[in-house]
Amino acid sequence: MIDTGAVHTLVSQSVARILKLKMVPLQKCDHSVLIAANGSKLELIGSVTLKLYINGLVVHQTAFVAKRLSPRLVLGVDFLSTHKATVSYRGEKGILSLFEDLITIPMYSLMDETNCVVVPRKTSIPAFTEAYITVKTPKRVNNTTILLEDVQRPTPIVLAKALTACKNNKTVCRLLNANSYVATLKKGFKLAKVAT
């Protein structure tokens, strides 16, 4: 995630472990706790050097490691200023530009269990077929009416934008497989964004 309000680039401890990044202990001058935008405390335990691959370019970035962090990677102002980044909202989507417009990347909003509906089990939709499937909704929207929106990414199916009611953390999505092959959605697939 890109966060223009975050002074530092941060990575979660779990991601640092998975990527087997060499962690350097904090220096005495480093802060061991940061305050997040929501007021919660983020405990820092060290720093790592990230090797980011962005449109074929390798970019190195120092990041502080936080014990718990969601989203698991936050690119802060240190990253943005070092790499001469700008964030623009000229079009329909935001655009991140690096190195004075040498690289431009479309930005998408965060997709996690708090703002998406999820396929509860492996589901196959036959070729050239319209289907209605039951999906899991975030707990925060239970017993409310929500707007389901497409997630703007390549998928084998098309989602109908719809206003729908959530009951028992479930709702129904209307899908179209316009392909000449069976489209299979895996369990846990984030199908649509929730707007309340």
Give domain limits for the chain: 10-106, 116-195
CATH architecture of 10-106: Beta Barrel (2.40)
Kindly indicate whether the domain formed by 116-195 is annotated with CATH number 2.70.40.10: yes
Which of 109 and 135 is assigned the larger pLDDT?
A: 135
Rounded-to-integer distance, Cα 118 and Cα 148, Å: 12
Assess contact for 19 and 12: CB atoms under 8 A: no
Report the share of the chain in percent with pLDDT over 90: 50
What pLDDT score does 182 carry?
94
Question: 3-class DSSP state for residue 141?
Answer: helix
Assess contact for 191 and 123: CB atoms under 8 A: no
Beta bridge mates, 190: 118
Report residue 72's pLDDT band, with 50, 70 and 90 as the boundaries. Answer: confident
**Which CA distances in Å does 90 have to 86, 96, 140?**
12, 11, 32
Report residue 108's pLDDT band, with 50, 70 and 90 as the boundaries. Answer: low
Report residue 57's pLDDT band, with 50, 70 and 90 as the boundaries. Answer: confident
pLDDT tens, 154-167?
Answer: 677 899 888 999 99
pTM: 0.60
Residue 87 has pLDDT above 80, yes or no: yes
